[in-house]
Amino acid sequence: MSNRLERLCNIEKLINKGQRPSPQYLADLLEVSVRTIYSDIQYLRDRSQMKIRFDQGCNGYVNDEPKAVLPRFDITDSELIALAISKGLVIQHSIGSLEAPMEAAIDKIVERRNGASKELTASVSRAVEFKLASNSPFQRRLLEDVLKAIEQRRVVRIGYYAAYANESSDRKVEPIVIQESGGSWYLWAWCRLRKDYRNFALHRVKDWELLPQTFEERADARKKIADRTFQVEVRHPEVTVKVRFDEVASRYVKEKQWHAKQQITERTDGSVDLEFLSQSLEETKRWVLSYGASATVLEPRSLRDLVQAELLRSTQNYAEVDKPAE
């Protein structure tokens, strides 16, 4: 909803209440110019059939047809339910950062709806439970600024903390797209420092600045990003990964599209081989380990070594725990 619609609704209410507001009063109240108020009044006359006239005696506006209002729109219960569920998902996956504007948007839609019913959206909130997907909050203004930078193709300077390397750096990036993954939000961008596509977790951006510099988006940038690994870390050149999942795990693996260029080969014993490209063997290792003994790395050998070393360290840790106290 635009700021203008908010103004129009406020002007409509004040005039219809018989307060006879003056142009200057409305301009001061709504923090706009008197010329803007004149334009809004004309819009109300044209769009709502409100018979608004200026009363010289009281130096204010009067509506001779108080039953006339701004046009409402029809929205079905199904559409309203979809909006209510979308609100829950947005709040969930933005870790609450977008809760206030989303609540305000829904309220405005309900207010202008024919046969408005806030009880319907409330019942959806009671019937559908949304749990926070992570605890990685980010600043809403950062999201808004990045969206603006993507639209205007402006370079952004970010102060970024890289958790894996445990170091902070100052980067200039050319933002391309924002991606939500596992309850965290990431900015995919061309990093001028690394001279390659990188993604940056919004909750690890400590400070930022929209620069006046603009850029031309590189050819096929979005396709290249879409073809990247289903994970979020980018540290190495692409390598082909092949993992075998046993019969039980294969039922879940086959349900999802893990990678844009994945290949799944079903075996006669019910197991499957999943083949895809990865640019972070460390992150791939953690994903493979989440399946425990149900997953076996077939290639590359370097990933097999990483997984085996991790399992050995884990076994040693448990052995240390099981040692009798001295």
* Least confident piece of the model among 41-50, 104-113, 185-194: 104-113
Higher-pLDDT residue of 108, 147: 147
- Mean pLDDT of the 276-286 span: 88
145, 157, 170, 154: which is closest to 212 by C-alpha?
154
Q: What is the DSSP string of 122-180?
A: HHHHHHS----S-S----HHHHHHHHHHHHHTEEEEEEEEETTTTEEEEEEEEEEEEEE
Collapsing DSSP to helix, strand or coil, 37 comes out as helix
In this structure, what token pair is assigned to residue 218? 């590189």
- Mean pLDDT of the 176-182 span: 80
CA distance 207 to 133: 24
Q: State the pTM of this model.
A: 0.54
SS3 sequence of 67-131? CCCCCCECCCHHHHHHHHHHHHHHHHHCCCCCHHHHHHHHHHHHHCECCCCHHHHHHHHHHCCCC
Q: Is there a contact between 208 and 187 (Cβ–Cβ < 8 Å)?
A: no
Is the predicted pLDDT of residue 115 greater than 60, yes or no?
no
pLDDT tier at 290, thresholds 50, 70, 90: very high
Q: Is 146 left (phi over 0), alpha (psi -120 to 50) or beta?
A: alpha
Q: Is there a contact between 262 and 244 (Cβ–Cβ < 8 Å)?
A: no
In this structure, what token pair is assigned to residue 216? 């031309």
The secondary structure element, H or E, covering residue 53 is strand 52-55
Q: What is the mean pLDDT of the chain?
A: 82
Sequence-distant (6+) residues with CB within 8 A of 82 are none
Locus of tokens 């050995």:
312
Is the predicted pLDDT of residue 46 greater than 70, yes or no?
yes
Give tens-digit pLDDT for 223-273. 777 666 566 676 677 899 999 999 999 999 998 888 878 999 999 999 999
Q: Say if strands 52-55 and 60-63 run parallel, antiparallel, or are unpaired.
A: antiparallel
Higher-pLDDT residue of 225, 278: 278
Give tens-digit pLDDT for 61-73. 988 876 666 656 5
Higher-pLDDT residue of 14, 117: 14
Query: How many other C-beta atoms lie within 10 A of the C-beta of residue 256?
Result: 10
pLDDT in the model for residue 2: 45
pLDDT tier at 1, thresholds 50, 70, 90: very low
204, 203, 198: which is closest to 176 by C-alpha?
198
Higher-pLDDT residue of 301, 141: 301
Sequence-distant (6+) residues with CB within 8 A of 208 are 142, 145, 146, 156, 157, 158, 159
Q: What is the DSSP letter of 9?
A: H
